[in-house]
Amino acid sequence: MTHPVITPELVALDVDFGATIPDVINNLAHTVATAGRTDDPAALAQAAIDREEKAGTGVPSGVAIPHARTAAVEAPTLAFARLSRGVDFSGPDGDAKLVFLIAAPEGGGKEHLKILSKLARALVRKDFLEQLRTADTPEDAVSAINEVLTTTKKKSATTPTGAAAATAATATTAANSHEGANAEGGAPESSGGGPVRIVAITACPTGIAHTYMAADALTQTAEGRSDVQLLVETQGSSSNTPLEARDIAAADAVIFATDVGVRDRHRFAGKPVIESGVKRAINEPGVMIDEAIAAASNPNARKVAAASGDEPSASAAAAGGTSAKGGLSWGKKIQQAIMTGVSYMVPFVAAGGLLLALGFLFGGYDMADGWQAIATEYSLNNLPGNTIVVDGAEMTFKRSGLLLYVGAVLFAIGQQAMSFIVAALSGYIAYALADRPGIAPGFVGGAISVLLGAGFIGGLITGLLAGLIAAWIGSWKVPNWLRSLMPVVVIPLLTSLVVGLLMFFLLGRPLAGIMEGLQNWLSSMSGSSAVLLGIILGLMMCFDLGGPVNKAAYLFATAGLSTGDEASMMIMAAVMAAGMVPPIALSLATMVRANLFTPAERENGKSAWLLGLSFVSEGAIPFAAADPLRVIPSMMAGGAVTGAVSMGLGVGSRAPHGGIFVLFAIDPLWGFILALLAGTAVSLLCVLALKKFWPQPAVAPVTEPAEVA
pLDDT at 554 over 90: no
Rounded to the nearest angstrom, the gap between the alpha carbon of residue 188 and the centroid of all alpha carbons in its chain is: 39
Q: Are 176 and 195 in contact (CB under 8 A)?
A: no
Report which of residues 707 and 662 the model is more confident about.
662
CA 355/CA 326 separation, integer angstroms: 45
pLDDT at 454 over 60: yes
Can you give the pLDDT at residue 185? 36
Mean pLDDT of 354-378: 83
CA separation for the pair 564, 374 (Å, rounded):
19
Work out the number of other CB atoms within 10 angstroms of the CB of residue 62: 20
Average pLDDT over residues 242-270: 85
Show Cβ contacts of residue 99 under 8 Å, excluding neighbours closer than 6 positions.
17, 24, 28, 63, 64, 65, 66, 80, 81, 83, 87, 89
Of 65, 207, 61, which Cα lies nearest the Cα of 124?
Answer: 61
Q: Where does the pLDDT of residue 179 fall: very low under 50, low under 70, confident under 90, or very high at 90 and above? A: very low
Name the pLDDT band for 369 (thresholds 50, 70, 90).
confident
Q: What is the structure's pLDDT at 673?
A: 94
pLDDT at residue 138, as a whole number: 92
- Across the strands, what pairs with 59? 63
Listed in order, strand segments (DSSP E) in 38-193 are 58-59, 63-64, 67-70, 77-87, 96-105
Q: Provide the pLDDT for residue 562.
A: 55
Peptide bond just before 668 cis, omega within 30 deg: yes
Cβ-contact 311, 261 below 8 angstroms: yes
Give the per-residue pLDDT at 30.
92
pLDDT > 70 fraction of the chain, expressed in percent and rounded: 79
pLDDT classification of 328: cutoffs 50, 70, 90: low
Alpha carbons within 13 A on the beta-carbon side of 492: 14
What value does the mean pLDDT of the chain take? 79
Selected residue with higher pLDDT from 456 and 138: 138
Cβ(433)–Cβ(309) under 8 Å?
yes
Digit-coded pLDDT (tens) for 481-531: 888 788 889 999 999 999 999 999 999 889 888 877 766 665 566 566 888
Catalytic residue annotation:
67, 204
pLDDT tens-digit map of 293-326:
999 988 888 888 764 334 333 333 333 344 434 4
pLDDT digits 0-9 by tens, 438-447: 999 999 999 9
**Phi, psi angle pair for 68, to nearest 5°:** -170, 160
Which DSSP state fits 446?
H
> Is the model's pTM score more than 0.75?
no
More confident residue, 291 or 276: 291
Would you say residue 200 has pLDDT above 70?
yes
Q: What is the residue-wise DSSP string for 310-378?
A: --S-HHHHHTT-B-TTSSB-HHHHHHHHHHHHHHHHHHHHHHHHHHHHHHHHHH-GGGGGTHHHHHHH-
Tell me what pLDDT residue 680 has: 95
Given a contact cutoff of 8 angstroms between Cβ atoms, the answer to whether 55 and 315 are in contact is yes
**Rounded Cα gap, residues 254 and 230, in angstroms:** 10
CB-based contacts of 20, cutoff 8 Å, min separation 6: 87, 598, 600, 625, 626, 698
CB-CB neighbours of 389 under 10 Å: 11
CB 405 within 8 A of CB 374: yes
Phi, psi of 279 (to 5 degrees): -70, -25
Which bin fits 38, alpha (ψ -120 to 50), beta or left (φ > 0)?
beta
Report which of 433, 455, 440 is spatially closest to residue 487, judged by C-alpha positions: 440
**Max CA distance (Å), the chain:** 88
Closest CA to 361 of 656, 671, 662, 659: 662
Domains and CATH numbers, the chain: 8-150 (3.40.930.10), 196-306 (3.40.50.2300), 331-511 (no CATH), 525-693 (no CATH)
Is pLDDT of 47 > 90? no
Answer for the pair 534, 577: CB distance below 8 angstroms, yes or no. no
pLDDT recorded at residue 112: 46
In the prediction, which pLDDT does 546 show? 62
Question: What pLDDT is recorded for position 490?
Answer: 92
Nearest-Å Rg of the Cα atoms of the chain is: 28
Contact assessment for residue 201 and residue 274, using Cβ atoms and an 8 Å cutoff = no
Q: What is the mean pLDDT of residues 79-107?
A: 86
